[in-house]
Amino acid sequence: MRFTLHTLVDITETNTRRGEDPLKYRQQQNYLTVIQTIGMRVNPIYVDPPVVIKEIPSKLGLGSKYKTKQNVWTYTFEIEYEGGLSIETLVNDFDLVPVITDLEETVKFDNAHFITKKPDKNNIIFQIDDK
């Protein structure tokens, strides 16, 4: 089963370790936060690293308050079996998970966490790509 998430939080996969480039290290920490949050329920299967696009977030289903083009990170992952994960569980699991901000985001967040339950401020959304 394949899922895609879109987020306004910088989740660039850099594979940088502590003591190396501080920006890239913090980006990697956000990426690992995504992987670990998904991993609370299933083992995600790596497809490709997150990619950043310039898009109007509300067109993708992100918060309605974001009306101009912004950096949006898109990440696709798979899980081994159908029913192991749902949009509802992802929304519940990710809501209010802390993140590191002020990286390469083009949006200023009120608080440094993923928001999934406020339609005007959602900074991460999920979709199932196949069933």
Q: Which of 53, 45, 115 is nearest to 84 (CA)?
A: 45
Instruction: Supply the pLDDT for residue 117.
Output: 97
Please indicate whether residue 5 or residue 84 has the higher confidence score (pLDDT): 5
Domain count, the chain: 1
**DSSP alpha helices (H): ranges in the chain?**
22-38, 57-60, 87-94
pLDDT in tens, 76-105: 999 998 888 999 999 999 999 999 999 999
CB 26 within 8 A of CB 82: no
The residues with which 124 forms a beta bridge, in sequence order, are: 7
Residue type, 114: F
Q: List all residues 6 or more positions away from 18 whose beta carbon is below 8 Å from its beta carbon.
A: 25
Average pLDDT, the chain: 95
Domain residue limits at 20: 2-128
The pTM of the full predicted model, rounded to 2 decimals, is: 0.94
